[in-house]
Structure 1
Amino acid sequence: MQTTFPRLMSHQATTRPNAPAMREKEYGIWQTTTWSAMAALVEAIACGLLQAGLQRGEHLVVIGTNRPRLYATMLAAQSLGAIPVPLYQDAVAAECVFPVNNAEVRFCVVEDQEQVDKLLEIREQCTRLSHIWFDDPRGLRNYDQPGLAALDALIAAGAAHARTHPALFRQQVEQGSADDVAAMFFTSGTTGNPKGVVHTHRALIDRARAGASFDRLTDKDEVLAYLPPAWIGQNIFSYAQWLVAGYVVNCPESGSTVMIDLKEVGPTYYFAPPRVFEGLLTSVMIRMEDAGLLKRKLFHACMELARRVGPALRDGKPVGLLDRLGYRLGDWLVYGPLRNNLGMSRVRVAYTAGEAIGPDLFSFYRSIGINLKQLYGSTETAVFVCLQPDHEARADTVGVPCEGVEIRLSDSGEILVKSPGLLKEYYKNPQATAEVLSADGWYRTSDAGFIDASGHLKIIDRVKDVGRLLGGAFDGAMFAPKYVENKLKFFSHIKEAVAFGDGREKVCVMVNIDFEAVGNWAERRNLPYAGYNDLAGKPEVHELIRACVEKVNADLSRDELLAGSQIRRFLVLHKELDADDGELTRTNKVRRGFIAEKYGVLVDALYGGRTEQFIDTQVKFEDGRTGSASANLRILDAKTFTPIKAAA
């Protein structure tokens, strides 16, 4: 099979020239790009880049949000045998230096002034960087930098070149092979410099087809592309599967209009990490708390029925006639309007991945008729490793191996994967490649887990993070920090948590409150606050979080393997953990080691038995300025429970 992404685009443009390929909302109006118009745009950009000197096998950086012309740029680069490298649009300038230099980048195509400013700032450190094209000209009129130009100029020059060389583009596309490198995605870099994950056309297209086949995706489906294109998950859903299935990709106007745009588009195929689903549910519950008494009673009565019978109906299981009639009435009164308000009235398949999702949250969406499922994968596996069948969706698993995937467990419990979608290599890093890819083709995921009796995969934690308690009543007991953190994050009032315990006698935790949820909770109780720092320091908030912690402890006490991971002490941080401060990755994963070092004084206070500790932390603002956030943090004890087995 010699299929490449440019060939898939040409196929769509030939067979469905007037069908919509992408829509972009601009100034409040949806603009449609057909497949034939997309093909013409790709040809113009490709010819422009060829004229500018882009070579086969060379890397081209693309930075911005989801925009048709940026997707067309990636296709244009692939048409020439070059390799698009999408970078996170919210990364600060310094974070772009390593990828640009590592990939020896000369050419960049970016969205707007913000991205141009970043690249100009690092240009002295990236000496090969010679050409920067921008899509949105606002704010750039008076910029006069060598090699800086509008994407419009590149398109115009390329279109003129294509007219005088009509066979050139087709010749370039025909030189492409399925085993050529299609794209490179940089990992988050939680423990050092990010690694460039190299994927071929064959690998990405195979996984896109496997996912599309599993969920019966067609050209009638629609998606909303709102997550960073630099994240492979968004790239698979709005690029690889878009070209394979031929459905419509809708690009929102901005991050602030995503919810409005979601309702207007009504996608049929939807993906979001758990935090997005948590945020949607939190906003619903906040609005319901402010509703009238009658509406609140109706909502809670209908939701009680939905929780009881909704998942069974969703899974095709038998339900009594009265319950069916009651649910149908609830769908007319509550569930249908709620799905519509969430923008999910047309959703046929919804996925979440990246972190564990709370059972209550998972059940809520399935109970109101949304086919929410989980998947398992990573950048290195081109996303699709495990998927949940429609009638086998459970909160505590990530599904069954999908087409072409084999899974086995190492002696240490690490999940090993063999798949057609595995990375080719880490760019310029043979040592790291050898560490994750065995000679016989197995990929070491670094995740610990097991296959349950029904054939579903369960994830416990990262192998390197699974530790042991040392000393005390649970000496030698397993400690899985991510498992504990996820249980805490299942509560709407907790946004992030960082658990410590490996090599120590007890587990202690730092917590970030969810400012919106806790703020609304405080307002309903007439509890005044001046901002995040003030709210996080309220004794009433501490007791709210203590209740959440103790519920987690009660749950852990029933788990024979992890009963020792009950939380003994905790504190509520005075600031939100932030990727700009190095505390989170760009995909919002906690950098536990960095946090342990940065907040070492707090870790010492937790384990030293102190009841409070002063902390002064440097923070970085969005405009690049730095400041500080300080507070005297209270450290609290939490009630723990006797393990169920020991009590019996």
Structure 2
Amino acid sequence: MERAVALERKRLSGGTPTLKERIFDAVGNVLVYAPLRDQLGLGRAERAFTGGEALGEDTFLFFRALGIKLKQFYGQTETCALTAAQTEGQVKLHTVGRPMEGSEIRIDESGEILVRSSSVVDGYYDDPESSAKALVDGWLHTGDAGRIDEDGQLVVLGRVSEVVRTAAGERYIPNFIENRLKFSPYIRNVAVLGSGREKLAAIVCIDFDAVGHWAEERGVSYTSYAELSQKPEVQVLVGEVVRHVNGTQPEGLRVRRFVNLHKDFDADDGEITRTRKLRRNTIETTYASLIAALYGGLDETMFEAVITYENGERGVIRRTLRISEVVA
């Protein structure tokens, strides 16, 4: 499967399989992929699509590597399901395809995706006020933010209400970038910073189990989460993940610096909710000195954190945290 996924990634990036790869793929199809497709109940599937929340890159590549030509689409109830969809030969990991025949898509000044099509509903039942807000001059205001890439494919970023801007006026949604970073098994939580700032930076919480296993396989010793997070090898590992995600982002929306936090974000500390959503205001306040170091050009910083023990007593721990540059 590792070979199959690597080959599918090569195909999607425009590469041509070698003769050896084609032979291996044919043998793999007989011995592995076809039986797996059958086990999944997809042995005769000719067309497969995924929509809704973004699908992880590894999951998407896994199904395609099995020979299931999975593609992505975008739509809403108000558009009778489909508005844009990928076609075979035009599949990208981070887009949802071009507008379907008879559909028009444009991005307004706020970054919102607008749709005009005969498939768009006339309005909401018995709700003229909502209808007037959603349908303006024949265009449906989807409430989603997006952009059109260089190939004319739609990239859906998230909800318009989540859009923020950099100091240069670049629109982005932190959660869009964070989710793609968390598609990596090595990153459990991450906060992308950049609202009102010149460049993007990130506070990263590694996945202790996944990174710990990775370290053990490579003979990297450690005694705690905090020590593991600051290992040079782990800095390089996380840097590779960030660099990969940066490759899917416009130049002005790439994470330039990051720091591996000495612990995971914790609901008890008010950093995330019980459903693991970031409390951005809390993070900006709690890690103000760390954020200042990220944007101050420092290579490392001493961070003091107040902790609360099980008996209710409070203490302070001090950690030296490395700050890494992401080289394109």
> C-alpha offsets along residues 281-300 of structure 1, whole Å, 9 cap, x if unaligned?
xxxxxxxxxxxxxxxxxx65
Alignment of 1:293-308 (within 5 A): 300=2, 304=6, 307-308=9-10
1:456 aligns with 2:153: yes
> C-alpha offsets along residues 350-400 of structure 1, whole Å, 9 cap, x if unaligned?
433445456565444312312221122356656533222344322132023
How many angstroms does 1:435 deviate by? Answer: 4.3
TM-score by length of structure 2 reads 0.69
How many angstroms does 1:541 deviate by? Answer: 3.6
Identity of aligned residues (%): 29
- Rounded Cα–Cα distance in structure 2 between residues aligned with 1:499 and 1:377: 27
Relative distance call for 1:400 and 1:380 in structure 2 (3 A) is: same
Q: Which residue of 1 aligns with 2:170?
A: 478
Q: Which residue of 2 aligns with 1:325?
A: 23
Q: Which residue of 1 aligns with 2:43?
A: 346
Q: Which residue of 2 aligns with 1:445?
A: 143
C-alpha RMSD of matched pairs (Å): 4.7
Q: Residue 540 of structure 1: which of 228, 244, 266 is its match?
A: 228
Relative distance call for 1:557 and 1:392 in structure 2 (3 A) is: closer
Find the residue that maps to 2:261 and give its secondary structure.
strand
Relative distance call for 1:512 and 1:417 in structure 2 (3 A) is: farther
**Corresponding letter in the other structure for 1:606:** L
Alignment of 1:370-381 (within 5 A): 370-378=68-76, 381=79
How many angstroms does 1:437 deviate by? Answer: 3.4
Find the residue that maps to 1:611 and give its secondary structure.
strand
Alignment of 1:198-347 (within 5 A): 300=2, 304=6, 307-308=9-10, 323-337=21-35, 339=37, 343=40, 345-346=42-43
How many angstroms does 1:330 deviate by? Answer: 1.8
1:388 aligns with 2:86: yes
Q: Which residue of 1 aligns with 2:298?
A: none
User: Do 2:192 and 2:203's aligned partners in 1 also have CA atoms closer than 8 Å?
Assistant: yes
Q: Which residue of 2 aligns with 1:638?
A: 324
Relative distance call for 1:388 and 1:346 in structure 2 (3 A) is: same
Q: Residue 401 of structure 1: which of 93, 99, 102 is its match?
A: 99
Find the residue that maps to 1:599 and give its secondary structure.
helix
User: Do 2:230 and 2:260's aligned partners in 1 also have CA atoms closer than 8 Å?
Assistant: no
User: Do 2:206 and 2:264's aligned partners in 1 also have CA atoms closer than 8 Å?
Assistant: no
Alignment of 1:442-521 (within 5 A): 442-450=140-148, 452-453=150-151, 455-460=152-157, 462-470=159-167, 476=168, 478=170, 480=172, 481-514=174-207, 517-518=210-211, 520-521=213-214
Q: Which residue of 1 aligns with 2:281?
A: 597
How many angstroms does 1:547 deviate by? Answer: 2.6
Alignment of 1:558-597 (within 5 A): 561-562=251-252, 565-571=255-261, 573-575=263-265, 583=273, 590=277, 595-597=279-281
- Rounded Cα–Cα distance in structure 1 between residues aligned with 2:206 and 2:80: 33
Relative distance call for 1:575 and 1:522 in structure 2 (3 A) is: farther
Gaps of 5+ in 2: 294-300
Find the residue that maps to 2:95 and give its secondary structure.
coil
User: Do 2:4 and 2:65's aligned partners in 1 also have CA atoms closer than 8 Å?
Assistant: no
Number of aligned residues: 312
User: Do 1:451 and 1:457's aligned partners in 2 also have CA atoms closer than 8 Å?
Assistant: yes
- Whichever structure has more strand as a proportion of its residues is 2
User: Do 1:512 and 1:575's aligned partners in 2 also have CA atoms closer than 8 Å?
Assistant: yes
- Whichever structure has more helix as a proportion of its residues is 1
- Rounded Cα–Cα distance in structure 1 between residues aligned with 2:212 and 2:79: 40
- Rounded Cα–Cα distance in structure 2 between residues aligned with 1:607 and 1:375: 37
Q: Which residue of 2 aligns with 1:612?
A: 303
Gaps of 5+ in 1: 1-298, 471-475, 619-626, 644-648
> C-alpha offsets along residues 245-283 of structure 1, whole Å, 9 cap, x if unaligned?
xxxxxxxxxxxxxxxxxxxxxxxxxxxxxxxxxxxxxxx
User: Do 2:189 and 2:265's aligned partners in 1 also have CA atoms closer than 8 Å?
Assistant: no
Find the residue that maps to 1:442 and give its secondary structure.
strand
**Corresponding letter in the other structure for 1:611:** M
User: Do 2:145 and 2:163's aligned partners in 1 also have CA atoms closer than 8 Å?
Assistant: no
Q: Which residue of 2 aligns with 1:201?
A: none
User: Do 1:497 and 1:512's aligned partners in 2 also have CA atoms closer than 8 Å?
Assistant: yes
**Corresponding letter in the other structure for 1:503:** G
TM-score by length of structure 1 reads 0.39
Relative distance call for 1:446 and 1:616 in structure 2 (3 A) is: farther
Relative distance call for 1:521 and 1:325 in structure 2 (3 A) is: closer
Relative distance call for 1:370 and 1:500 in structure 2 (3 A) is: same
- Rounded Cα–Cα distance in structure 1 between residues aligned with 2:10 and 2:61: 10
Relative distance call for 1:391 and 1:507 in structure 2 (3 A) is: closer
Q: Which residue of 2 aligns with 1:550?
A: 239
